[in-house]
């Protein structure tokens, strides 16, 4: 199920924060956001543009998923850029 792992990490964060495990909570929050970003990238790579249902009521996960979608588009744009492809470095438009 798309988005489940990120949502579970977010739940783990909330439980850890509630019981006073600050370090574990911070790790889980960072992981939840990163998983949501990766989900967005993966979805974009597979032509999926609708947000996972598990993110619809979580603005933090929504934002991270959208960043993943934008990251994918930026990578594809650079892949299609002749200068970026042949120089090995981003051109002025992409750097």
pLDDT tens, N- to C-terminus, the chain (95 residues): 999 999 999 999 999 999 999 888 999 999 999 999 999 999 999 999 999 999 999 999 999 999 999 999 988 888 777 777 777 777 777 66
User: Is residue 76 situated within a structural domain?
Assistant: yes
User: pTM, whole model, 2 decimals?
Assistant: 0.86
User: Is residue 83 situated within a structural domain?
Assistant: yes
Q: What is the rounded CA–CA span in Å between residue 14 and residue 21?
A: 10
User: Is residue 95 situated within a structural domain?
Assistant: no
Q: What is the rounded CA–CA span in Å between residue 29 and residue 90?
A: 32
- Contact present, 59 and 6 (Cβ < 8 Å): no
- Contact present, 21 and 5 (Cβ < 8 Å): no
Give the model's pLDDT for residue 78.
82
User: Is residue 15 situated within a structural domain?
Assistant: yes
Count of domains observed in the chain:
1
- Whole domain around residue 81: which residue ranges? 4-87
User: Is residue 22 situated within a structural domain?
Assistant: yes
Within 8 A by CB and 6+ apart from 55, the residues are 3, 6, 7, 36, 61, 62, 65
User: Is residue 92 situated within a structural domain?
Assistant: no
Q: What is the rounded CA–CA span in Å between residue 37 and residue 29?
A: 12
Give the model's pLDDT for residue 91.
77
Give the model's pLDDT for residue 58.
96
Give the model's pLDDT for residue 81.
79
């Amino acid at each position: 199920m798309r988005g489940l792992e990120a949502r579970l990490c977010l739940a783990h964060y909330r439980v850890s924060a509630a019981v006073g495990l600050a370090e574990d909570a911070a790790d889980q929050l960072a992981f939840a956001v990163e998983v949501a970003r990766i989900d967005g990238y993966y979805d974009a790579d597979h032509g999926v543009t609708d947000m996972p249902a598990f993110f619809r009521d979580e603005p933090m996960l929504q934002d991270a998923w959208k960043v993943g979608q934008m990251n994918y588009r930026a990578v594809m744009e650079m892949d299609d850029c002749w200068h970026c492809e042949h120089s090995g470095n981003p051109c002025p438009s992409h750097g």
